Structure 1
């Protein structure tokens, strides 16, 4: 039997933007993903649907599976011939026990690769405006594990650390914060040495507490802190007040859920992240092309009888041209036919296939498309409408009222999706999600299907158009609608909601 292969992949500190390109590429091709509790939700959401999941849930002293068990799982899955991704928070070799996981693989001649990850010891201070080295303050940085076994003393030479005069970064040390600070003081560190605790860096829950080595424990107790968090000690900590940048972004501190059809890249998510939001990108619907496309192929054979083709989604346009190719036809068969698109996203798909649209409504929804197209009709025109099986019924009604003959042909179905890894309902109940962005009425319905909540009154919904808003209103959400049905207007709406 052919052996599989293992990739030890560092997922970074939380922000999916810090997940490496190689890590993403490896993850996309995984058969099995073995993941732990420190992997950011944004990265978890990128695990392919086809991959089998094994949660080993390591965090502090709470282990779903002991390290020896994890090592064995990697070996067994590789021996089955699988492509195994061991997805670890931060970097796999920095207190990630990656070396231990390689020992058993090496003994059994299992091929493996290491994909380094961005470590929180560098990234989290950076997101808080703390450079871990600075020519005016220090010339070295030291990363120390703050974790110790229960009942045992630290095996740390605090005197040596103090003598380096460098920046000290303690990972996994919050439970022993008092002991760490006291150890440094006993070793002769200046009591007024700046020090900081940095909570959940690179995420919406990022928070910092800056004090001195002698007052840090007291200040943390006063302000409160949650784990995971790191401890930074050194003169560079005092730069945070001037160099802090993340909190100045317009959506910093906000966690936004973006719903979208599975498989579609989300410019909305990208734009939200540029403004500092932590974006959880979860498909709430999936589009499935129909196996039987006889009606559409019959329409291809009478294409010269249509005056208009109206596309109501990028998916509808993509399937149309895929089936056109399968029917051994190309865009020449559309000669003389006018093309309408519901919005810029659909128009872009058409342009990529050499088609410039003749009509886009000012408001990107089915009713507006119907009204705009109806205004172009003189009566008796024939219109082809290739779209989802459960489309906007009012669109056809508007067109027929104005004398059009409409061939409304279903080319795909919309199926509701649910995350395997993230309990969105729980995220909503606990107030972890600040805003949910909806780009269609179907994503609203998919969100409701996947969460199954009894009460949606706590959901703040940013909606791209009035039909989407109406769908969210029906579930009692706190709804807001963009001034225009564009991604840019939708992003500005989220900013306005945060600042209201």
Structure 2
């Protein structure tokens, strides 16, 4: 087997939006992803299913894999012909030991690329309203590792740093904050120099404390600031109050789990991220088309015999038209058919095909579609309903209550329950690390429950798109809220309202 290749990819500081386009592309094409604990959960949730994932941040014994072990792992995986992504928090060449990881690759003749990442030294202050340079305060910035070996003195020339009069950014230095402040003070820095300590920057759990050189250690202790955190020393820290912007976004500080199928998740995630939320994509179900679906093929071959075609989900639309394509069935064969759909997502999917619905129910659920369709169709009409194999029976029942029609209710896909391979969903909810779980169907609730067995569901704040979804979540004891309308925009508005109430409650 020929050699593969290694990419050292900087994942950035945590916010998935700060992962570079090239970084995302390389991850999507990976055979193996080797990652560590500083990579944000939102980015880990984007790793494709086909990629084998190796966590080198911890093992079953909670011990870090040695750097030498990581180096050998990258070499071995590449020698096996794999496209290997070494995914690292921040930038691989800024205190990321990237240089050490490529030394062995160079020696063994393994091809590699470096994909720079956005460093926390610049981005985390920016998310806290601190420009690391400003013409009125400083013209330089200096990035220093705050980490030192146990029982050893700092190999840092504090006097030289103080003389620069620049902004100083210490990475990985929270445990040595006292030593850093003493070193700067002993080197002549003004004890009133502003200092900021920024915790979990660019994530929903972002926090900051700002004080001065003489009091920052006590301020950090009183506020229980913990790692990961960076230390910023300089006059620019005084700008934070006036320049802060992230916390003003409507969903800032909110971490949300989105459980839609992977192929449908991006639109909802983007709506939430624009408003400042940290989104963790945790698809609870996977859509699996039914292979060699003879019933569907036969129906497509006889579309002229139907008066109505009914779509109940975006997945149903996609699978139906993919089958038409595989059969080389011309879209003109739909001429004369009336189209009924449930929901805005399904409607948009139809319109994307150049078609328009004849019926969209006033309320987006199977029962109301059945009632309204039954009211306007004619006796003897023939209807095609290509949908999930566990579709809501109320749709067919409500139609037949009103008219004597022929219905071909054809399963076109199965809903398979699944969980994350990387993120321990049960643990995240038990530790109250996720503020809300968004459910867009009863099946997403069932899928979530299937992979979090034993979880106290009273810890789950479930935001549901409709009555059936809420009923399913209620049945498991979740704390439920239902959107006013069964649309993604209404779902997002509800999350905003809930988060604002929580904010106001915390401020009292």
TM-score of the superposed pair, with normalisation by structure 1? 0.98
> Is the 1:379–1:402 contact (alpha carbons within 8 Å) kept by the matching residues of 2?
no
Which structure 2 residues correspond to residues 270-419 of structure 1 after superposition, within 5 A? 270-403=270-403, 404-419=405-420
> Is the 2:194–2:210 contact (alpha carbons within 8 Å) kept by the matching residues of 1?
yes
> Is the 1:285–1:443 contact (alpha carbons within 8 Å) kept by the matching residues of 2?
yes
Cα RMSD of the aligned pairs, angstroms, is: 1.3
The answer to whether structure 1 residue 476 and structure 2 residue 467 are counterparts is no
Tell me by how many angstroms 1:372 deviates.
Answer: 2.3
> Is the 1:399–1:406 contact (alpha carbons within 8 Å) kept by the matching residues of 2?
no
Tell me by how many angstroms 1:487 deviates.
Answer: 1.4
Tell me by how many angstroms 1:195 deviates.
Answer: 0.2
Distance in 1, matches of 2:265 and 2:21, equals: 16
Which structure 2 residues correspond to residues 422-433 of structure 1 after superposition, within 5 A? 422-433=423-434
Which structure 2 residues correspond to residues 416-495 of structure 1 after superposition, within 5 A? 416-495=417-496
Q: Secondary structure at the match of 2:94?
A: coil
> 1:461-498 CA deviation, whole Å, 9 max, x = no partner?
11111111111111111111111111111111001111
> Is the 2:12–2:18 contact (alpha carbons within 8 Å) kept by the matching residues of 1?
yes
Distance 1:220 1:84, change over 3 A: same
TM-score of the superposed pair, with normalisation by structure 2? 0.96
> Is the 1:56–1:63 contact (alpha carbons within 8 Å) kept by the matching residues of 2?
no
Q: Secondary structure at the match of 2:323?
A: helix
2:135 aligned residue: 135
Q: Secondary structure at the match of 2:13?
A: coil
> Is the 2:199–2:226 contact (alpha carbons within 8 Å) kept by the matching residues of 1?
yes
Distance in 2, matches of 1:266 and 1:463, equals: 18
Tell me by how many angstroms 1:81 deviates.
Answer: 0.6
> Is the 1:308–1:339 contact (alpha carbons within 8 Å) kept by the matching residues of 2?
yes
Moved more, 172-181 or 340-349: 340-349
> Is the 2:199–2:207 contact (alpha carbons within 8 Å) kept by the matching residues of 1?
yes
Tell me by how many angstroms 1:226 deviates.
Answer: 1.5
> 1:10-57 CA deviation, whole Å, 9 max, x = no partner?
000000000011000000010001101100000000111111111110
Which structure 2 residues correspond to residues 15-414 of structure 1 after superposition, within 5 A? 15-57=15-57, 63-403=63-403, 404-414=405-415
Distance 1:140 1:58, change over 3 A: farther
> Is the 2:167–2:235 contact (alpha carbons within 8 Å) kept by the matching residues of 1?
yes
Distance in 2, matches of 1:161 and 1:327, equals: 71
Tell me by how many angstroms 1:330 deviates.
Answer: 1.6
Distance in 2, matches of 1:292 and 1:58, equals: 44
> 1:376-427 CA deviation, whole Å, 9 max, x = no partner?
1232211100001111011111111122221110011000011011011111
Distance in 2, matches of 1:417 and 1:293, equals: 23
> Is the 2:426–2:455 contact (alpha carbons within 8 Å) kept by the matching residues of 1?
no
> Is the 2:143–2:170 contact (alpha carbons within 8 Å) kept by the matching residues of 1?
yes
2:505 aligned residue: none
Distance in 2, matches of 1:111 and 1:372, equals: 62
> Is the 1:253–1:277 contact (alpha carbons within 8 Å) kept by the matching residues of 2?
yes
Moved more, 232-241 or 342-351: 342-351
> Is the 1:12–1:90 contact (alpha carbons within 8 Å) kept by the matching residues of 2?
yes
Distance in 1, matches of 2:428 and 2:98, equals: 31
Tell me by how many angstroms 1:342 deviates.
Answer: 0.9
> Is the 2:173–2:230 contact (alpha carbons within 8 Å) kept by the matching residues of 1?
yes
> Is the 2:143–2:171 contact (alpha carbons within 8 Å) kept by the matching residues of 1?
yes
Distance 1:197 1:454, change over 3 A: closer
- Could you tell me which runs of 5 or more consecutive residues in structure 2 were left unpaired when the two chains were aligned: 502-508
Tell me by how many angstroms 1:142 deviates.
Answer: 0.3
> 1:208-236 CA deviation, whole Å, 9 max, x = no partner?
01000110001111111121000000000
> Is the 2:258–2:269 contact (alpha carbons within 8 Å) kept by the matching residues of 1?
yes
Tell me by how many angstroms 1:292 deviates.
Answer: 2.5
> Is the 1:434–1:460 contact (alpha carbons within 8 Å) kept by the matching residues of 2?
yes
> Is the 2:465–2:486 contact (alpha carbons within 8 Å) kept by the matching residues of 1?
yes
Distance in 2, matches of 1:434 and 1:461, equals: 9
